[in-house]
């Protein structure tokens, strides 16, 4: 199959590509990571397709069917547009880019409107080194320009390198942070600490690197990371999910399994960031207040009607984005990130 002819909608409708985006099968992840590396000219289409898959996977129903409806609607609009402009017979063709057509489809697919509205990552590249601090807050959530979500623990700081999301995705961490990184084969995500560097393609992990503690620990939960110790650039340590690398001033490093809590079987390494919500017929306005307090990020409502949506249930989540995604499954609403806050609308 010639994937070089694929556009964003083609990638998004490919089941293997969907499994790669959602990190469901290692074989698909390896195949697409290698293919994307070999074809950097397709990075824009791939990024657009990944964004579509991620958004649709958070909605209701079969995402492949949703994408097919959206694709058909765009193709029909394209056919109509040609028919209005040309007197010769035309054939249905795939649009070269999905977004220029999407606003014109209108009611073809209700879900499509939700996808177009939820665009949380429209932030500009960082031109200068930028420091983000949690201060005395127990947790502070930030969404970086590339769409990666980070939860900073108390008294922690990240400093984004100049050109972040434009020429690189590098940052320096002091303290502790939980990372949910978006994939971008063109610019691997790099975390620098005083004791080690971590190279990422797209994954979920936690790093504890407080100044003066004498110890740095990296715990991997999903995906793959490559760790390089300070002063040993040729030594690469690749961690698999549920592994933790620890280094201190007395021993080079150790790799061990994550420490699971005997009661809930969750990794102790991120007990500080996990949020367990037990909801019993509570309005979204009240739930949002709890999330805002826990994750340290402001939540506002653009529509008062949404505040009255009520939910029941129990769930756990490491980031506020996943928490809102989970709530969307039972009573749909839209949300986006803008100027360091989350805006919820109908």
In terms of Cβ atoms closer than 10 Å to its own Cβ (0-12, 13-18, 19+), residue 258 is: middle
Query: Do residues 149 and 110 share a domain?
Result: no
pLDDT band of 26, cuts 50, 70, 90: confident
The CATH number given to whatever domain includes residue 247 is 2.60.120.1440
- Residue 122 in any domain: the answer is no
- Residue 187 in any domain: the answer is yes
Question: What is the bridge-based pairing of β-strands 334-338 and 341-345?
Answer: antiparallel
> What is residue 284's predicted lDDT score, i.e. its pLDDT?
92
- Residue 124 in any domain: the answer is no
Q: Which domain holds residue 230?
A: 130-270
pLDDT of 172-201, one tens digit each? 999 999 999 988 888 999 999 999 999 997
> What is residue 25's predicted lDDT score, i.e. its pLDDT?
78
> Rounded to whole angstroms, what are the CA distances from 108 to 57, 59, 144?
19, 17, 32
Q: Which residue has the higher pLDDT, 189 or 7?
A: 189
Question: What is the bridge-based pairing of β-strands 196-200 and 189-192?
Answer: antiparallel
Query: Do residues 85 and 22 share a domain?
Result: yes
- Residue 314 in any domain: the answer is yes
Mean pLDDT of 305-333: 83
Query: Do residues 261 and 156 share a domain?
Result: yes
Mean pLDDT of 319-339: 83
Answer with the one of 87, 117, 147 that is the final residue of a domain. 117
Query: Do residues 91 and 143 share a domain?
Result: no
DSSP letter for each residue of 102-126: HHHHGGG-HHHHHHHH--TT--PPB
The CATH number given to whatever domain includes residue 324 is 3.55.50.30
Q: Distance (Å, rounded) from C-alpha 43 to C-alpha 46?
A: 5
Q: Distance (Å, rounded) from C-alpha 313 to C-alpha 301?
A: 22
Query: Do residues 137 and 258 share a domain?
Result: yes
Given a cut of 90, whether residue 3 has pLDDT beyond it is no
> What is residue 112's predicted lDDT score, i.e. its pLDDT?
32
Given a cut of 70, whether residue 85 has pLDDT beyond it is no
Query: Do residues 145 and 263 share a domain?
Result: yes
Query: Do residues 221 and 263 share a domain?
Result: yes
Give the total number of structural domains in the chain: 3
- Residue 249 in any domain: the answer is yes
pTM for this model (two decimals)? 0.56
> What is residue 114's predicted lDDT score, i.e. its pLDDT?
32
Mean pLDDT across the chain, nearest whole number?
77
Q: Distance (Å, rounded) from C-alpha 21 to C-alpha 145?
A: 19
pLDDT of 124-151, one tens digit each? 555 666 899 988 888 888 888 888 889 9
pLDDT band of 66, cuts 50, 70, 90: low
Query: Do residues 137 and 262 share a domain?
Result: yes
Q: Distance (Å, rounded) from C-alpha 131 to C-alpha 152?
A: 12
């Amino acid at each position: 199959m010639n994937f070089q002819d694929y556009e964003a909608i083609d990638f998004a409708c490919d089941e293997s590509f969907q499994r790669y985006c959602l990190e469901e099968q290692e074989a698909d992840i390896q195949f697409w990571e290698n293919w994307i590396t070999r074809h950097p000219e397709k990075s824009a289409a791939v990024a657009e397709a990944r964004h579509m898959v991620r958004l649709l996977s958070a909605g209701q129903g079969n995402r492949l069917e949703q994408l097919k409806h959206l694709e058909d609607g765009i193709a029909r609009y394209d056919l109509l547009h040609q028919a209005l402009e040309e007197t010769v017979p035309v054939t249905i063709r795939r649009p070269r880019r999905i977004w220029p057509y999407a606003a014109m489809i209108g009611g073809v697919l209700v879900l499509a409107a939700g996808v177009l509205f939820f665009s949380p990552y429209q932030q500009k590249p960082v031109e200068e080194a930028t420091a983000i601090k949690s201060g005395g807050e127990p947790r502070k959530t930030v969404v970086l320009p590339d769409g990666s979500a980070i939860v900073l623990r108390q008294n922690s700081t990240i400093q984004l390198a100049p050109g972040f999301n434009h020429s690189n995705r590098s940052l320096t961490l002091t303290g502790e942070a939980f990372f949910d990184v978006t994939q971008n084969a063109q610019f691997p995500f790099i975390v620098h600490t005083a004791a080690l560097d971590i190279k990422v393609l797209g994954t979920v992990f936690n790093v504890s690197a407080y100044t003066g503690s004498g110890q740095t620990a990296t715990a991997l939960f999903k995906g793959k990371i490559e760790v390089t110790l300070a002063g040993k650039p040729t030594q690469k340590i690749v961690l698999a999910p549920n592994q933790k690398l620890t280094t201190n001033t007395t021993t080079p490093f150790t790799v061990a399994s994550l420490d699971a809590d005997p009661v809930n079987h969750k990794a102790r390494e991120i007990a500080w960031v996990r949020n367990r919500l037990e909801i019993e017929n509570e309005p979204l306005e009240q739930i949002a207040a709890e999330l805002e307090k826990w994750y340290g990020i402001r939540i506002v409502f653009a529509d008062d009607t949404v505040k009255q949506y009520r939910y029941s249930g129990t769930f756990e989540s490491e980031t506020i984005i996943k928490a809102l995604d989970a709530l969307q499954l039972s009573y749909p609403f839209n949300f986006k990130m803008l100027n360091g806050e989350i805006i919820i609308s109908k």
